[in-house]
Structure 1
């Protein structure tokens, strides 16, 4: 957070792929090339894949030294321009005025939270998130895609498609573009989402109706 406080407003792209999504070495290097070539400031939550010996439900962990998987001298060349961290307090980061764009696997929680904070997403769907991306990119125009048809043969599989630095860089630049139509639509949707939660808003009203219905019928005896 101290590093973010030192960055100009609306200047940083945040990379975060959820609590269980990780990339291996070759893909990590492509991301480093894309970040360096994009010219944008970045905050990257980079975690290492779980230990296969601990089973399919094992969780990713933070690197003791992330430089071992990054491209050579990446940290030196991007000093002052970016920061690599482990686990990230996502909501706090989104609300920071330095954040301007988000690179995500496009889980639904991340989608709703990014819209709430008016942060456009460059979507990189992993593990069956393609439906979320199709709706937000193609139907609603609230995000840009990095690669819609990204595939992975299965959890624990080594057969993983490598997305090129060129493709990732294009997504970063698109999501960081000032005055874009997507940025305007995200702002409009954010305002609608906030109104929905206010007293009398659509979500407030329907949730209150559901609670009232449950309470009114809780002690009704069926015969």
Structure 2
């Protein structure tokens, strides 16, 4: 699995829930709190993957959960130190396949994109080089993260309220070929000139790796979360689609490794949060995120060191990978 222990816990739970209630979740289920065994806290239904609210997708997720029980083993892209309770839950066995925590599995070589010319990339990195350490806020919402124009204006207003330096990747459509400046408030670019960059695509790994980056407003895709943890950059959660709501809940409520903007925001097909998140709400979260004394920042920096140990000699990921290879070669399945 490319996902984490938390999402695996959700897939383990769904068939059990289905035996008691065979219908998909609906809008009235949103405030229901679920006793998912892999989580310390009860999990609000509203942070489950949006697919559980669709009949066909729900049936598919239940079927995947059922089939996983028949697997000989399951690899997850996580490590026990970042999700200790869930890792312990799956280590107990309990008539479930052996779970191998082989993460963090990351591509840290940086990414190229034809939408960002080499000169633009160089200018962006040069600008970062000129900023103080941990002073830049990075906002990026994945390849499918598209906001309405009113929401973009609220984010822009929040950036003006807080006054932090920033890099903001704006997608105006799924294709990513729109003008990122078009939906911005009039005069925003001029008012933030010198302290902010707006673009349609950003080299996420390179930005997170840079010492000037101090915070990440993210859609909470698991790869993005792991990249942020690896580089010790704290996240403010703004999930959009797939299992990102559950990831956000996991990071904020279970692990204390992120600051909450929203946990249940959805922009996934027909399911779209209509409420506009206000500039004041965004600004409050961002100020907390960028606070150098924030406990979340300290915990994320500790996890950064642990993540590197996990993939080093004798680390948990290396040991789990070795166990998996031994089990395959020894036909222990």
What is the TM-score normalised by the length of structure 2? 0.59
| Alpha-carbon distance between aligned partners in 2 of 1:191 and 1:135, rounded to the nearest angstrom | 20
| Alpha-carbon distance between aligned partners in 2 of 1:4 and 1:166, rounded to the nearest angstrom | 27
Alignment match, 1:215? 329
Of residues 140, 148, 153, the one that matches 1:24 is 148
| Alpha-carbon distance between aligned partners in 2 of 1:17 and 1:164, rounded to the nearest angstrom | 17
Of residues 135, 139, 143, the one that matches 2:258 is 143
Of residues 134, 137, 143, the one that matches 1:13 is 137
Shift of 1:89: 1.6
Tell me if 1:131 matches 2:246: yes
Of residues 156, 159, 166, the one that matches 1:42 is 166
- Structure 1: gaps spanning 5 or more residues: 51-59
Q: Deviations over 1:19-68 (max 9, x none)?
A: 11111211110110001111100000111113xxxxxxxxx3143x4332
| Alpha-carbon distance between aligned partners in 2 of 1:169 and 1:97, rounded to the nearest angstrom | 22
Q: 1:4 to 1:156 in 2, by over 3 A?
A: farther
- What is the total number of aligned residue pairs between the two structures? 208
Matches within 5 A, 1:43-122: 43-50=167-174, 60-63=175-178, 65-122=179-236
Shift of 1:155: 1.1
| Alpha-carbon distance between aligned partners in 2 of 1:156 and 1:87, rounded to the nearest angstrom | 25
Q: 1:159 to 1:179 in 2, by over 3 A?
A: closer
| Alpha-carbon distance between aligned partners in 1 of 2:286 and 2:260, rounded to the nearest angstrom | 10
Shift of 1:157: 6.3
- Structure 2: gaps spanning 5 or more residues: 1-124
Q: 1:109 to 1:85 in 2, by over 3 A?
A: same
Alignment match, 1:56? none
Q: Deviations over 1:154-194 (max 9, x none)?
A: 51567632111111111111110012111111111111111
Q: Is the 8 A contact 2:265 2:273 kept in 1?
A: no
Aligned Cα root-mean-square deviation (Å):
1.8
